[in-house]
Structure 1
Amino acid sequence: MGCAGAAAALSTLPAVAKPQGDARILFREVRLVDGTGVPSRLADVIVQGDRIATIAPPSARSSNFRGRRIEGEGRILAPGFIDTHAHGDPLEQSFEPFLAMGVTTVVLGQDGSGPRVVGRSGPNRDLRSWMKAVETAGIDINVATLSSHGTLRRVVDIPDSVRRPDADGLQRMAAQLDAELRAGSYGLSYGLEYVPGIYSETAELTRLGQVVSRYGGVVMSHMRSEDDDIIDRSIEELIASSLPARPHISHLKVIYGKGEKRARQLLDFMAEKRRQGIDLTADAYPYLAGYTGVAILFPQWALPPTDYGKVLAERRQELRDYLGKRMIKRGGPGALLFGTKPYVGKTVEQAAAEAGMHFADFLVQIGPGAGAGAHFTMDEKLQDTLLLDPFVAIATDGAPGIRHPRSAGTYAKWIEEFVVKRRLLPMEEAIRKASGLPAHIMRFADRGVIKVGAKADLNLFDPAKIRARSTYADPGLLAEGFDLVMVNGVPAFEGGHRIGVAGRLLRATARSGGRKV
């Protein structure tokens, strides 16, 4: 799960750059990797306004072109990357770190917690008011959104502690979800390891999945558990609560699992579901640490809205024992690196030592609301195998400002390490998993692939120069090597800097699973 952090305010963004109908740009003799997975080819590509106007073999006649000419010089022209799992709010933050690594579209509303116009009550709590605000603001990246299960609960005044909403509560949630889907939400997200999703039961989720299915939407879930021994059951729950809507696994990973063999077993399990006719997909990121709150270490009975003071008074030793065992199982106190104050940059082990405490006592003291950090809980061979599966898209689970390198490095690392250095897959497949596949998952009809008539979201780069510079110590360092990133026909990032703002709110088309802008 990503957490929004400090980032550039929108007031610092340049004015929105709207493409003119006669504005023309020629990409001359580029190596075209179109996002479908087919072999690359040399081509001349002409952009007019916000769309791709022409794709043709290189021609000497292009010397007569009137407009801006960009020479390929051996570089790749690829679709803008589509991040199917991101966090943050473009009304409050710049997504420049995403643009710098080739991302032109992000999907928000993840993990059951969605954006809203904050600090207000009544209708402004509704996702629709946020969408209207985004639509009229200058945003630097394309944004699509899901409705969010936990936020739906809160909007219709179902307390977090309620495990089984009554019929009236379920109807209010379903009606709110229906309204948001009609307004252009692309589906629904669950956060079943977080409050309040952790308290929900399958019957509640199934009721909402049925609403999503009427709109051809997708149900994305941070599942009930990612632990090795029960992840299969978590996937079964996602499927059961989604159908007949499309189920999608957010940030696919296996906690405690190890090795390629275990990854193959899980992928075979998912493939069998697809053979049964279930359109099951997933996304993942190329890092071995997740990023989420320390609350994930705590048992349900110690989480909000439970009175934590009462827990300490009555069950302190039980809680200490639980946290000690869970932290050891998750790699020990050195495997959680804080990304929030006052312990930022320190592991639990280091922070506890400075406090002169055993790490379990330290966790009891700071409590489940103490912040977030990077949790190093994954196995490299297992995760690499999952990443390479053709039905797993590449996503960040990042946000502007969080202290995890994935928010500024995911797609650069994907190309630099998996394609150029380790040669684990061809460039065409790597680009498809970052563009065409996520476009298919979201049912974006005119983004994610380079074709005539598609929106001109484009990346121009030399693979040999791609560098993921962000680290856990300095996670905000921008990626290098993406020479030009175009959003809706407007150069948005060029020469290492954001230069234009042309992002748009994307809205799904009701009852079609498609989208409109």
Structure 2
Amino acid sequence: MTLTRVIALALLAAAPSTLMAQDLASAIRDAGGSFDLMIEDAMLVDGTGAAPIQADILVEGDRIAFIGDVPKGAARADRTIAAAGRTVSPGFIDTHTHANPLADSFDGFLAMGVTTVILGQDGRSANITTSDAPSSPERDLGEWLGKVEAKGVQLNVAVLTGHGTIRHLAGIPDSARGLTAEQQTRMNAILIDELRAGSFGLSTGLEYVPGRYAETAELVPLAKLVADAEGVIISHMRTEDDGQVEGAVQELVDYGANARIQASHLKIVFGKGPETAQRLLSFITEKQRGGARLSADVYPYTAGYGGLGLIFPEWALSPANYTDVVKTRRAELLAYLKARMTKRGGPGALLFGSPPLAGKTLADISAEQGKPFEEVLLALGPDGAHGAHFIMDEAVQDLLVASPLTAISTDGGPSIRHPRGTGTYARLIEHYVEGTRALTLQEAVRKSSSLPAAAMGFSDRGIVRVGAKADLLLFDPAKVRAKSDYLKPYELAQGFDVVIVNGRVARENGATSVGRHGKVLRRTQSR
């Protein structure tokens, strides 16, 4: 049994005991003779990785009250769903999501079986989306969570505090590297307040501004605060390039200390061949054996998604004045962009997702405008567009996805033009379970439920057991389909027949419920 599975099972097994009974007679008595929901004749895949078993499931309120054989007529329920041998599993937990729950719909996530999302990624807090964070009306995390709660959410929402955001809130210039004691103290105080308000920990985006300017020493005291709060650090690491990604993981381990730490959307940019993936996975295993509470997540696609800043040199990024850079270093910048984009697969490997360029590659735009692709990039600038970057090798990504070390995440969102935001978990089952057979169904479910639950510190979600929250899916694996692609990124997944959030049906037969059955999860209330 792998270390990650041991950690997951130990955490979930240590969940607080409840008054709900393990035997049917006691469960009926405790429910007052009738249940809210009964699922009959299911093939239960419980999220632990154990082999499927046939079972009936009784739900009372937002929790699972009984799992086992319920003879016909032995229990009453307000609603009975006939599974007819279809799979019942825990709802999926996406540890890397980009969304605004006050404005966005989560239909695409529910359609692919996601019942819990973690927001505030890449060093950017979910409650502050502007660069002038100190003056944001959503500055107070507790108040913002209250607004989300009052509006209602379609699925469960948890948040992280963005390192880049609290840097802005502390009044630290983007380019600052070595912080003063006063600056560090201001950052620490903001993080403490947010952890108390319910943040589950810290996210870092060390490849982006301002995280790229942060020295490792700046992150150490923040990580200690997260560890003391039993929180988690989820990191978009400083680099994902072949030959350097292990060093980025090591940096995460170095500053993460005793906190739970997760390397997000694991990939090896420019890496080729299975041996490259095995090297990285072996490195992660070595860190785990050395005592690091390290996990990782991955999505089943070979293109990332991000801004053009990923292609530009640091000296052309904020806080540099880009207009001045173009005037004074134009030839140098053009040479850099040409070499960098060529290394990343050429102009055909960048598919724009931002209007008015959406759906066209850099090569397309270059041909339309009749000028070299590097000139197109120069004119757009590092903040001029977002797109899908086809920078991963399929053989490498397949091994990262199939590894027992990695959880599955989307790194997607309702407005991001990438199929991972609507297809990730459907593709996992359609391609890796039913297609290549690289994964068993129970392993795919574990990687999408109990493994991410353990990383987040959830003790009552991610597993189907008596007393756990009733976040459940009902589906036939052979009928699950990922319908979205890079040109049609918003097509909803098919095949997840019933999606249950906190004991209530949130989506059924291809339609989302008008109700909002999700919960705003707070770290201090989720243990």
Quickly name the TM-score band, shorter chain normalised: over 0.9
Q: Give the aligned partner of residue 110 of structure 1.
A: 121
For residues 78-477 of structure 1, the aligned pairs below 5 Å read: 78-116=89-127, 121=135, 124-477=138-491
Question: What TM-score does the superposition give when structure 1 sets the normalisation length?
Answer: 0.93
Match of 2:505 in 1: 491
User: Which 5+ residue runs of structure 2 have no aligned equivalent?
Assistant: 1-30
SS where residue 180 of structure 1 aligns?
helix
Show the counterpart of 2:43: 31
Equivalent pairs counted in the alignment come to 492
Give, in whole Å, the separation in 2 of the partners of 1:397 and 1:182: 26
Aligned to 2:62: 50
Matched, 1:65 2:76: yes
**Deviates most, 204-213 or 105-114:** 204-213
In structure 1, distance between residues paired with 2:136 and 2:397: 43
CA distance in 1: counterparts of 2:399 and 2:423, whole angstroms: 20
CA distance in 2, matches of 1:247, 1:504: 24
Q: Secondary structure at the match of 1:485?
A: strand
Deviation of the 1:327 alpha carbon: 0.2
Task: Supply the AA of the counterpart residue of 1:503.
Answer: G
Cα separation, 2, equivalents of 1:59 and 1:111: 50
Q: Does structure 2 retain, via aligned residues, the 8 Å contact 1:123–1:129?
A: no
Residues 121 and 203 in structure 2, CA contact (< 8 A), matched pair in contact too: yes
- Matched AA of 2:123: G
* Residue pair 1:416, 1:464 contacting (<8 A) in 2 also: yes
Q: 1:25 is matched by which residue type in structure 2?
A: L
Give the match's secondary structure for 1:67: strand
Structure-1 residue corresponding to 2:85 = 74
Q: Tell me if the contact between 1:29 and 1:58 (Cα under 8 Å) persists in the aligned partners.
A: no
Letter in 2 for 1:78: S
Q: Any stretches of 5+ residues in structure 1 without a counterpart?
A: 1-19
TM-align CA RMSD: 1.6
> Displacement of 1:60 after TM fit?
3.1
CA distance in 1, matches of 2:479, 2:259: 41
Report deviation, 1:217: 1.1
The question of whether the paired residues in 1 share the 8 Å contact of 2:128 and 2:165 is answered with no
1:508 aligned onto 2:523: yes
The alignment's TM-score, normalised by the length of structure 2, stands at 0.91
Deviations 1:198-228 (A, max 9, x none): 1111111112111111111111110100000
TM-superposition CA deviations, 1:395-438 (whole Å, max 9, x none): 00000021100000000000011001111111111100000100
After superposition, what is the alpha-carbon deviation per residue over 1:1-57, rounded to whole angstroms, capped at 9, x for unaligned?
xxxxxxxxxxxxxxxxxxx99761100010000001111100010011111011112
Shift of 1:390: 1.2
Shift of 1:347: 0.6
2:13 matched residue in structure 1: none
How far residue 164 of structure 1 moved from its aligned partner, in angstroms, is: 2.2
User: Offset at 1:127?
Assistant: 2.4
Could you tell me how far 1:320 is from its partner in structure 2? 0.6
- Cα deviation for residue 91 of structure 1 reads 0.7
**Quick check: 1:118–1:125 contact (8 Å CA) kept in 2?**
no
Mapped to 1, the partners of 2:261 and 2:128 lie a distance apart of 28
| d(CA) in 2 for partners of 1:113, 1:124 | 13
Shift of 1:122: 6.4
CA distance in 2, matches of 1:397, 1:414: 15
Q: Distance in 1 between matches of 2:271 and 2:128?
A: 40
Whether the 8 Å contact between 2:35 and 2:76 is mirrored in structure 1 is: no
